[in-house]
């Protein structure tokens, strides 16, 4: 079982100094990965907890890559319909190259109506857009020569493709993960709820003659009760989860390090 942790790239905790402090503390504590989230245009009536302040996830991880040595760098998740495919593929490849291939690419289709409205993107097309973007990203990492809009071009640098974890709910996210991803990334589901979905996901990868995908769960853990937290991790492992990303709340570096100490005891 791999164990990751969220890092706030939003709100008051997204200052450069605190983000570096938290990333380096997570690495020193032996956590496998840190994960940031993605919003572009938060409306005023939905800004509680962040104040509408969000740093771009790929830029945040690029910067944190230079402040760390080996910890995995995850997007949990980046919303594909928000971004044009070609520049996004270039950013992903650049981050993967410059970080020493530490990127863990969690992707989603987005959900917040005001964000789609601000971006001028039809929310009803988010699934189709996401599929097309994933297919394009795959093509970029599989070929030196890629075509877009009738134009062939060189896609370089072309490092090893980062693993792609498709976020979202069954059944559509499972189908998307089986077709385009290397894993599925559900959020907030308990082991018993996950079990049948994981079986369905593995059946889909088998039918597509693809390797069985990995399952990464982003969820909270009862860190104040180590026995219960360890038991929860065991239940996730029993149903086929390979990585748990623990969502933690904190106001400052001291609270974050306290949570890390409790997580490290579970590693």
Residue 213 has φ and ψ, to the nearest 5°, of -70, 155
What pLDDT shows up at residue 229? 97
What pLDDT shows up at residue 212? 87
Q: Which residues make Cβ contacts (< 8 Å) with residue 30, sequence separation at least 6?
A: 264, 267
Local structure of residue 112 (DSSP, 8 states)? -
At 54-91, the pLDDT tens digits run: 999 999 999 999 999 999 999 999 999 999 999 999 99
CATH of the domain at 79: 3.20.20.30
Distance CA 71, CA 86 (A): 27
Closest CA to 3 of 260, 222, 192: 260
Distance CA 101, CA 254 (A): 30
What pLDDT shows up at residue 267? 81
Domain count, the chain: 1
225 pLDDT above the threshold of 90 = yes
Distance CA 223, CA 153 (A): 50
241 pLDDT above the threshold of 90 = yes
147-151, 207-211, 253-257: the lowest-pLDDT one: 207-211
Mean pLDDT of the chain: 97
- What pTM was computed for the model? 0.96
Q: List the domain range (segments joined by +) for residue 71.
A: 2-264
Give CA separation, 249 vs 63, 153, 223, in Å: 22, 44, 11
């Amino acid at each position: 079982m791999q164990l990751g942790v969220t890092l706030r790239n939003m709100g008051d905790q997204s200052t450069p100094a605190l983000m570096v402090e938290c990333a380096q503390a997570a690495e020193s504590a032996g956590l496998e990965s840190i994960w940031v989230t993605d919003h572009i245009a938060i409306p005023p009536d939905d800004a509680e907890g962040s104040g509408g302040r969000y740093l771009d996830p790929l830029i945040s991880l690029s910067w944190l890559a230079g402040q760390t040595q080996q910890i995995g760098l995850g997007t949990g998740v980046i919303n594909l319909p928000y971004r044009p495919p070609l520049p996004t593929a270039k950013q992903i490849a650049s981050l993967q190259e410059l970080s020493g291939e530490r990127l863990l690419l969690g992707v989603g289709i987005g959900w917040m109506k005001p964000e789609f409205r601000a971006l001028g993107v039809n929310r009803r097309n988010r699934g189709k857009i996401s599929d097309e973007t994933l297919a394009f990203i795959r093509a970029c990492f599989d070929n030196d020569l890629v075509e877009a809009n009738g134009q062939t071009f060189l896609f370089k640098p072309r490092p090893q493709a980062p693993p792609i974890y498709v976020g979202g709910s069954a059944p559509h996210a499972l189908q998307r993960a089986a077709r385009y991803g290397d894993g599925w990334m559900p959020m907030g589901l308990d082991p018993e709820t996950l079990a049948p979905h994981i079986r369905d996901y593995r059946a889909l990868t088998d039918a597509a003659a693809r390797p069985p995908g990995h399952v990464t769960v982003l969820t909270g853990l009862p860190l104040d009760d180590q026995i219960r937290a360890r038991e929860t991790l065991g239940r996730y492992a029993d149903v086929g989860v390979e990585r748990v990303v623990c969502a933690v709340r904190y106001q400052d570096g001291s609270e974050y390090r306290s949570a890390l100490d409790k997580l490290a005891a579970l590693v």
